[in-house]
Structures are given as C-alpha cells and as structure tokens.
Structure 1
C-alpha cells in the first residue's frame, strides 16, 4: 500500500493530489474506495481531493462500478485525458514521423512526412502535418512537443550540437516548433528516447538499471541507472560508435567514428560481413540495409554469420558492462529487433566470456516506433509535471 507523507497542509494536499493522479494514470478509472485503499488516505481526504481535482479539470466522473451499489460510492473517477494534448516527433534523414496523443499518452493521430533530396521545405511541411494531425485529434492546442533527433543535445541548454553534418531543415524545424505560442518543446537524442520507451513500456519495465544498445544504420546506446536516463556532461553518454575496438582498420577521431564500434556493428559493416559469409544482401538505395539480412539469417539459422555478429556486438556491450555494470542490455534498433531472441542469446553467451559481471541480454520490445513512443512518454511526463505539480 502506498502512503502519503506528513507535511504542511498545502504541501500535503499537493502530494495527495499527485498521488491520486498518478494512480488514475497508471490504473485507469477508480472509485473513491479504490483510492482510499491504494493510498491509505481517509474518506474525507479522498473526497476533498476528488472535488478539488474535478474543479481543476484534471479528473472527471467516468461512469459507475458494476461491482458496487449505485450511488456516490460507485462512481468511477478518471484522469481527464483531454485536459492537454501532446506530440512526439522522430526526425530521421529519410523524413519525419509524428504522433499526437492525449494526457494519458493514448495515440490520437499520426503522420509521416518523407524527405526528398535537397528538400527545402520539409520543416514547413512538417509543421503543417503536425497542425493537421492535431486538428484530427481535436486538439486546439499542443501543451508539449518532444522531439527525437540524431546528434548531441546539450543537457544544460537543450540545444542540438550541429557539427554541420545534419541537414539544415533539422534546425529549421526546431526553430519553427519553438515559435508556436504556448507550446513547450523538448529536444532529446533519439536513442535516449528509445531507451525511455524500453524502460517505461518495453523490455526493461522491470529494471532500474539497464543499457539499450541501438543497432541500426549506425550504433548508439542509452543508459538508465537508478531509474533515470543518464546524459553525461555534454550529452554524449551512449555515443558508442566512437568506442575504439579491436578488429577495425584504424581508430576513430573527434570528427568521425570510422574505426570505432560503428565500423564493427553499423549497417554497412554487417552487410559486408554477410557478403563474406555468402549471404545475399539486397541493394536498396545508396545505403546498405542490414535489417533484412539479419532477419533472414536468423530465420535460416546461419550460425557462422550470427556467431560472428554476436561476437562484434558483445565487444561493444562488454565495454558498457565493465564500466557501468547495468545488469541488463537491451538490443534495439532495426538490427537488434531483426536478430530476435536467437541473436540476443548468442550475445549473452559471448558477453559472459568477456565481462566478469552477470548481464542479461534482451530484445527490444518497444518496436519500430520506439523513438516516437519515448517522445510521447517524455512529453507526457513534462505536461503532467506542469499540470499536476511535483517532480
């Protein structure tokens, strides 16, 4: 049973209100009796907080419980999810994905804005698509928008450190979003948001400590310790593509990760490994795509290829484990998901021989929309802090 802390009357009311709101968010509609049982609060205190939250527009009556007699004690109270609306945005080189959600995180509308070569108006088209999705969702205003973008995000300023390698429309889009009156914009590294999604709704829901190893076109990591996302002094925690590793032709530099872990486990390196093992590699555009190669290899039981791939992945995972000892590594990104439980098991076995610490390896469960799912979680947390109060 969760109990409220003793405090001054005004602080106690704020704590009790937040406690009740968090329970309604987590469990859905509850009766006053349910809230008393879950919080340990008295009947008058629960009655007062429900009246206060209804006046504030944060809670509404959502029907009656069929398990109790009709009347006041049977009323079901629910979070007023339409009290505020949120958006999550995933910026990729291929375009932008976005989702509009309510205060409870339920998806109300989605859109995809593809990028074209030398795209000059993608920022404008994305803002228009966001407005149309918000209108479809019945949202006159977006309280908070969370954006996942590649690159370093300075934890102190919240600004994207653009080294000149990102398209101009990335920064144009951020500027356009921040110009919307009354809307808070949160910027976060996209792999960090995927880590947030795995922690809250994915494979690491039962873990306070874990690392997400992102395996896609490039490589990256998100680190959660003590239940909190860790960013580092400059936002660089998890930039594992720069990790110097054996088996490459050189060393990475301050301006490029070639020669680092990226050269072992990035998409191009995995496709080259597959060709060496005689596996077919489909050609789709200028960049090789490892996802179908790994999926087909896992389905066909291509043991030699999968063992060597697991060896490479374990090298990067071992570096994380011997420094941070997270106890759990989640394989995410397109390649991590494509390899499935078979690849995860191979990585875990190899990792056991490289690290003195017992580490479980799991497959990411947040799916292909992990970045967007994490963005909605981040936006929802920020909006609820503003509306509910508290940390």
Structure 2
C-alpha cells in the first residue's frame, strides 16, 4: 500500500534533516542528489522546513556565491539546547550543547555525600544551572530541551528509572526528579553509564566499524555493555552486562545479590589493580590504577620509539640519543600487564562464550590507558581459552565516553521530537 501524501512528506523531511545533521549545511541541489528526490519535492520540503523554523540559510556555496541555487541550508542549532551529565559516586560532570551537538559550556564538580542527600543533589543541580546559563540556555529565548544522564546502576527498561541498587548513593535516584523540577520543560532521561560509553565508542570511537561488540568498562568498578546487530541490549531487568557479579576463580569468595566484592569486580576494579601493581613493586601511595596501567603499557616490550621518548620526557630525562639508547625497561611493568591481562581475560572469555561478539572494546579509564599493549595481551590469552575468534581493542574515548554517549542520546531524543514536528 503506497504511503499517503502526508506520510511521504514526513519521511522526506526526516531524510533531509538527517542528511543536514550528518553532512552539515547543503544546497537544495545537494539535497536533491543525496536524497534522490525530484527538484520540486526538494523545493517543497526546504520551504516547509524553513517555515517550521527547523532549517535556515546559513551561507552560500559555489564560485559565484549568489542566487537561490547557491544557498546553503543548515539546521537551526539554537532551536533546542541539550545537557549531558556523567554522575559518579562523588562527582558530577556536565556539558551543554546546541541541537547539532556543538558544545557551548561544560564543567565538573565534586559532590560530598557526607553532607547529606539534599546537599549532594543541590550541588549537582547548581552545576547544571551554571552550565546552562553560560550556554545561553536558561532564559526565555532558549531553554534546555533534553537532559541525558549517565549513572552507574540498573535502569528499569519498563519505566526508564534508575533502580535502587545496593552500594550506590541514594542521591543518584533523587537527582532525576530534582532536575525535572528545576527544568520543568525539559525531557530528562537516565541511562546506565556503560551503555552510554558503548554508544559513544560505536559512533565516535573504537567500534565505529562494528554493529556487534561488547564494551568492557574498566574503572573504579567494572561493567559491560552489549551491542548486537546495532542495538543496545538491556535485558529483562536492565541488568545486561553486570559483569562485576560474575563468579570467577581467583577471588576470596562468591558475590552476593547485594555485594559484588566476591566476583569479577574483585579482580579488575581500580582498587584491585592498584593492589596488583603493588605486588610487583609498582606505584606509590597516590598512584591511580589508570596511571599505573599507562606507565606499564608505555614501558612494555614491543613499544615504539615514540613511547620511549614520551616516558623520558615524563620522568625528566634529556631525551637525547644517549639517554634513549641507555634506557632499559622495568621488567616488572611487563609482568604486571601480563597478570592484569590474565584477570581481564577471565571475564572476557565468559562473555565471548555466551555472546560471540567478534569484538571486545576495553573502555573506562583503564582500557585506553593500557592501549594496544594491554589489548593485545588480552586477545592472545583469549585465543588460547576460546575457539571463537575475537578482536580485542582499546577504547579511544576513555572516561569522556559517558558524557559523549549522554549527549548523543539527548540529541537523538530531541531530534526525534523536533524533526517530527513540521506542519504538514
């Protein structure tokens, strides 16, 4: 059954808007070429979208740069403002962008849970308010349209709400309602932080060529996100990827329903990695897991000359040829990476045996810190443990992946609503 005229117009409009989002400003002729639509149809949709306030003339193209055929049309970026939040246990980061994703303001602040839930929520909300004001998204002329939040814990797939999970701050759940109250016109949504990181790595990072992969988050805690055939999988209760609870050998006990300290988390969480480094005589009192892994990866065998130079500069060496030639790697770094890869491979092998994703991305702060040195070690162990061919890659976005993923989902939600709005 052929589409009705109104349905056809809606499809054509959304196609044109998607192209303008992906390609940037285009002329009517370029829209005609990319969409395959007729010239009159393109002229109609350009007029319709312009009248609705979704697109406007942003410049001219061509050598002569004049006349209607040279007009460049672009999405009206300030039609809507978006906020993205990365909510951690004791901190919040935020950025505010326009409708095309251009970042206009950003900031971060520590949150002190000991001061109470109300104070923690207020600190987070005030950070968002300051960023929105700086971006020009706080007055009548422009307000936040959509707020995307990335937080640890389970998100109920039926309600979209952050579930009450043991070990997570209670203020996390209160934050959503507080933001909705402070920004009543905004659409506020929350998603698991690891899921958002996977979406960001797929769009902008290490998994851009993959529609099926698993992201393993390695940070203060561990988690996994599963993308199959281009779709994020959340599971019946929103718990797909709660790999920290996976029972594995090498831990002191078994995890419980309220505590993952006996599971995979006990091997690859940041605190466990710091303790592992100490067993090899590495690190000092203030060393973070990501810094320890980065230092070991930089010093690991098969490193490039550039990595040697980076290390020499970091430790204050002169970097001249004699210093580079005289430098000898610390063998404890390689042994530490080998031991860490053994631990990581246990969880990866379990995921691969069940899902066969073909690709695993090591994300969070620690995966990118280990880079290829850590990823190749994990992949080598995986080849010995599993008959299923799996590529292991280091993530490229690091801890910033959560904010990027939150922004991408907020932008998609806003565009889904606004791009369906033109009068027919």
- Give your verdict on TM over 0.5: yes
Whether the aligned pair in 2 keeps the contact of 1:217 and 1:289 (CA below 8 Å) is no
Shift of 1:36: 0.8
Q: Give secondary structure in 1 for the equivalent of 2:31.
A: helix
Partner of 2:193: 190
Which TM-score applies when normalising by structure 1? 0.94
Whether the aligned pair in 1 keeps the contact of 2:132 and 2:144 (CA below 8 Å) is yes
The CA deviation string for residues 64-92 of structure 1, in whole angstroms up to 9 with x for no partner, is: 11346621111111111111111001111
Shift of 1:117: 5.0
Which TM-score applies when normalising by structure 2? 0.87
Whether the aligned pair in 1 keeps the contact of 2:353 and 2:386 (CA below 8 Å) is yes
Distance 1:164 1:328 in 2: 31
**1:304 matched to 2:339:** no
Q: Which of 372, 380, 397 is the aligned partner of 1:341?
A: 372
Q: Give secondary structure in 2 for the equivalent of 1:256.
A: coil
Distance 1:218 1:51 in 2: 51
Partner of 2:145: 143
**How many residue pairs get matched?**
382
Change (3 A) 1:164 1:310: closer
Shift of 1:300: 2.0
**1:233 matched to 2:229:** no
Higher mean C-alpha displacement, 5-14 vs 103-112: 5-14
**Segments of 4+ moved more than 4 angstroms:** none
Whether the aligned pair in 1 keeps the contact of 2:148 and 2:406 (CA below 8 Å) is yes
Distance 2:350 2:293 in 1: 23
Shift of 1:7: 1.9
Q: Give secondary structure in 1 for the equivalent of 2:250.
A: coil
Aligned-residue CA RMSD (Å): 1.6
The CA deviation string for residues 49-68 of structure 1, in whole angstroms up to 9 with x for no partner, is: 01100111111111111346
Distance 1:67 1:235 in 2: 54
Partner of 1:107: 103
Shift of 1:124: 1.4
Whether the aligned pair in 2 keeps the contact of 1:298 and 1:343 (CA below 8 Å) is yes
Shift of 1:146: 0.7
Distance 2:133 2:151 in 1: 24
Distance 1:327 1:192 in 2: 18
Q: Which of 176, 179, 183 is the aligned partner of 2:178?
A: 176
Whether the aligned pair in 1 keeps the contact of 2:150 and 2:193 (CA below 8 Å) is yes
Please identify the structure whose Cα radius of gyration is greater: 2
Q: Give secondary structure in 2 for the equivalent of 1:160.
A: coil
Higher mean C-alpha displacement, 359-368 vs 343-352: 359-368
Partner of 2:40: 44
The CA deviation string for residues 221-276 of structure 1, in whole angstroms up to 9 with x for no partner, is: 11111111111011100100011112222211111112211111111221222122
Partner of 2:294: 295
Matches within 5 A, 1:86-165: 86-116=82-112, 118-120=114-116, 121-139=119-137, 140-165=142-167
Q: Give secondary structure in 1 for the equivalent of 2:126.
A: helix
Whether the aligned pair in 1 keeps the contact of 2:82 and 2:146 (CA below 8 Å) is yes
Query: Which stretches in structure 2 are left out of the alignment for 5+ residues?
Result: 301-332
Distance 1:117 1:379 in 2: 27
Distance 1:26 1:387 in 2: 16
Query: Which stretches in structure 1 are left out of the alignment for 5+ residues?
Result: none
